[in-house]
Amino acid sequence: EEREHAHTVEVNSLLPATTCSSSSSSTKGHMSEHASSSVLKVIHKHGPCSRLNKHKSKTPTHAQILQQDQTRVNSIHSRVNSKKQTKSVDDLRQSAATTIPAQSGSVVGSGNYIVNVGLGSPKKQLSLIFDTGSDLTWTQCRPCIISCYKQKEPIFDPSFSASYTNVSCTSATCSQLTSATGNTPGCDTSTCIYDIQYGDQSFSIGYFGKEKLSLTNTDVFDGFLFGCGQNNQGLFGGSAGLLGLGRNPISLVEQLAQKYNRFFSYCLPSTSSSIGYLSFGKSDGSSNAVKFTTLSTVSQGDSFYGINVVGINVGETKLPISASVFSSSGTIIDSGTVITRLPPTAYSALKAAFRQAMKSYPLTEAVSILDTCYDFSSFKTVSYPKISFVFDNGLTQDLDATGILYVVSADQVCLAFAGNEDDSY
Amino acid sequence: IGIFGNVQQKRLQVVYDIAGGQIGFAPAAC
């Protein structure tokens, strides 16, 4: 009974290996199964599989990762809330004097999963953070007229690509940038200029261009709309930019809808030393183990993917949280936010149930936004309760054993959830 | 708003079937 509702693991297995375990068999199996669709490897930006983190010093501390995560969450909240007050673009045009709120889009720094794609002809490989919480795909571009941050791969130079073209200011795709970035596009020598600001003062500004995108050797797309960044600053951790997978027409998912019919899936690797995948298109053998729930829209944030949480189970206990707590705040699923945020009522119920189940382990000090941390250093194995989410239309999804704890070290292992400030947030 | 973050998504196959209006999950996919 106990085993049924708890995970028992070796404390050592909680700690990420220092070497990259090349794609695990299941991923390989998955990769081959997806012959008909295109599959990219997903790696953790700060792990030993990433070519970006050769400079150990570059890896942020856990406190920094968690702090960046909070900044991202604040910016998502402000995007969702600001949508309530946002005037239509026409209003803004009419009241030219109105200060257009700098769209605090999503914060990239904390997003820590990257994929490698090819751009241009001949194609240049670039590591981009993939982000279901934002729409515009961009990368840094030579000649970096204003500024480029340090990135691992050579910075893309459109002047050496036979297939690069600028988007003109008068084209309809140029005006689409307003909804994708929250900022009205600029114009420079008749070339459309994009401007995307992120919540942590990161930003990318540059030419809006069209280029050949190679997702894999065989999946190549001409005329892919992306941002060629001439002024880029921020916490992008050595990656070359961002792959936007949100719901706006400018998102990669929408631009490649013809081929992939707005269908994509991913698996995020369990440790920073293992490999996952991001695949586009419905694969013929798509595992029928997949259980579905409703994809809903977030009224104030139409770029986000909404899901309806109705309850949470800890061990064999259904938490005493009324479904209205979840429905009044709504929930989005975001590959770029690290720690799940819950309405405070829900978080305090989860925290109480988890602490009750873990009362035989010593609590230790909190780290950043995580307030339920344990010292496992004197244990060889530990047991902790399973956690599952109940979504609408009756789907109950168990989290993986690795999806419950955030491991700073063996003596600081934390419950990987945090509460929002206010249920109505 | 609540956010289902990437720690909780670990090792799950997360499927976005936008045309079908659904999000899916499958366990132990990588």
Residues 323-382 of A with CB under 8 A from B: 326, 329-343, 346
Residues of B in contact with A323 (CB under 8 A): none
| Closest residue, chain B, to A131 (C-alpha) | B6
Residues of B in contact with A30 (CB under 8 A): 13, 29-30
Tell me how close the Cα of B13 comes to any Cα of chain A, in angstroms: 5
Check residue A300 and give its pLDDT: 73
Which of B8, B10, B26 shows the shortest C-beta gap to A290? Answer: B26
| Closest residue, chain A, to B12 (C-alpha) | A267
Which of A268, A277, A326 shows the shortest C-beta gap to B6? Answer: A268
Rounded Cα distance, A47 and A20, in Å: 8
**Interchain CB distance below 8 Å, A267 and B18:** no
| Closest residue, chain B, to A72 (C-alpha) | B3
Tens-of-pLDDT digits for all 425 residues of chain A? 556 789 999 888 888 667 777 644 444 444 444 445 688 888 877 666 776 655 544 677 888 888 878 888 887 887 776 544 333 333 323 322 212 222 222 344 445 788 999 999 999 999 998 899 999 999 999 999 999 999 989 999 999 999 999 999 999 999 999 989 989 999 999 999 999 987 667 899 999 999 999 998 889 999 999 999 999 998 787 889 999 999 999 999 999 999 999 999 999 988 767 788 999 998 765 567 899 999 999 887 889 999 999 999 999 899 999 989 999 989 999 998 889 999 999 999 999 999 999 999 999 999 999 999 999 999 999 999 999 999 998 899 999 999 999 999 999 999 999 999 876 65
Residues of B in contact with A309 (CB under 8 A): 2, 4
A411 in catalytic set? no
Rounded Cα distance, A145 and A206, in Å: 9
Check residue A216 and give its pLDDT: 87
Rounded Cα distance, A362 and A317, in Å: 22
Do the beta carbons of residue A337 and residue A108 sit within 8 Å? Answer: no
